[in-house]
């Protein structure tokens, strides 16, 4: 097993692929960097087994394991609306990746259906980016009354920015986002979060890759797993049960 970290850089990804290819690896599970992934074409042409995880490329003949990000984003934003929020901003992730596109589609469609204005600010998919984006939103003359955040690192940054501004959720501004990360259990009050089936996603990707390696059939499969929306009330109920 060889693990490589690309830091969301297509050039680094390309260099790693070249090194791995020289090592005669049997196959690759890839969470692709942003972009069009043109550097994958030679490996696809030679039939190197590749399975994409958490992201997909519709223009490439590659198997993938992803989640229902658009649908769960709709449910999450709708819940904020049902709770009385009307100025709901979104802190978006990296451009050029399918997860950002699907989460944006879910956010925008729900806002448009409710007749509400869309307000998006890019957070770079990092903790620092989430902090900067939330700080900018909080400095608006008419600040949002809720924020939907596209990944767990940016959610942590948004929480820190809210605390540093002397504000509280959900009283002053509500926060909801992707990724039920471990530290989120420490937040009081809890946040509304989207729990992703990361373990299942990895297991399915491995099984699909092994199948491609063993059978060399080139068969494409696209697995879409369900995310789980965990409302704030569910975290409170769970804590009361544990107590």
Q: What is the pLDDT of residue 237?
A: 54
Tokens linked to 225:
């797993």
Q: Classify burial at 130, counting beta carbons within 10 Å of its beta carbon; exposed 0-12, middle 13-18, buried 19 or more.
A: buried
Please check whether residue 230 is in contact with residue 205, taking contact to mean a CB–CB distance below 8 angstroms: no
Residue 218's pLDDT is: 66
d(CA 21, CA 81): 49
Check residue 4 and give its pLDDT.
Answer: 94
pTM listed for this prediction: 0.90
Give residue 155's pLDDT.
95
- pLDDT score of 215: 86
Q: What pLDDT does residue 72 have?
A: 97
How far is 115 from 162, CA to CA, in rounded Å?
27
Q: Running along the chain, 243 residues long, what does each successive block of 10 average in pLDDT? A: 92 94 93 92 93 93 96 97 97 94 98 98 96 98 97 95 95 92 79 94 96 83 95 62 42
- Are 156 and 127 spatial neighbours (Cβ–Cβ below 8 Å)? yes
Specify the pLDDT at position 99: 95
Nearest to 35 by CA among 3, 67, 51, 59: 59
Which residues are bridge partners to 120 per DSSP? 90
The pLDDT score that the predictor gives to residue 242 is: 41
**Residue 151 confidence (pLDDT):** 95
CB 191 within 8 A of CB 148: no
Say if residues 56 and 64 touch (Cβ distance below 8 Å). yes
How much is the pLDDT for 149? 98
Secondary structure (3-state) at 173: coil
What is the 8-class DSSP label of residue 20? Answer: H
Render 38-71 in DSSP notation, one character per residue.
GGGHHHHHTT--EEEES---TTS--EEEEE-HHH
* Structure-block tokens of residue 48: 């190197």
pLDDT value at residue 240: 43
Report the distance separating Cα 156 and Cα 160, nearest Å: 6
Cβ atoms within 10 Å of 117's Cβ, excluding its own: 10
pLDDT of the residue at 12 = 95
């Amino acid at each position: 097993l060889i693990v490589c970290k690309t830091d969301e850089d297509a050039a680094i990804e390309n260099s790693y692929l070249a090194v791995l290819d020289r090592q005669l690896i049997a196959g690759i599970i890839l969470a692709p960097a942003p972009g069009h992934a043109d550097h994958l074409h030679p490996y696809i042409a030679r039939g190197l087994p590749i399975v994409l995880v958490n992201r997909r490329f519709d223009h490439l003949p590659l198997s993938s394991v992803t989640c229902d990000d658009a649908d769960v984003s709709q449910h999450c934003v709708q819940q904020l609306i049902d709770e009385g929020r009307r100025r709901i901003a979104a802190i978006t992730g990296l451009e050029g990746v399918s997860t950002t596109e699907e989460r944006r589609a879910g956010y925008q469609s729900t806002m448009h259906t409710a007749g509400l204005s869309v307000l998006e600010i890019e957070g770079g998919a990092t903790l620092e980016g989430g902090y900067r984006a939330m700080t900018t939103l909080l400095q608006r003359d008419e600040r949002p009354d809720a924020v939907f955040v596209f990944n767990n690192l940016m959610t942590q940054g948004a929480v820190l920015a809210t605390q540093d501004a002397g504000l509280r959720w959900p009283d002053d501004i509500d926060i909801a986002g992707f990724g039920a990360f471990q530290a989120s259990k420490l937040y009081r009050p809890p946040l509304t979060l989207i729990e992703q089936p990361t373990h299942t996603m990895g297991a399915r990707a491995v099984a699909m890759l092994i199948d491609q390696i063993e059978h060399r059939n080139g068969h494409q499969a696209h697995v879409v797993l369900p995310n789980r929306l965990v409302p704030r009330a569910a975290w409170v109920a769970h804590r009361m049960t544990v107590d």
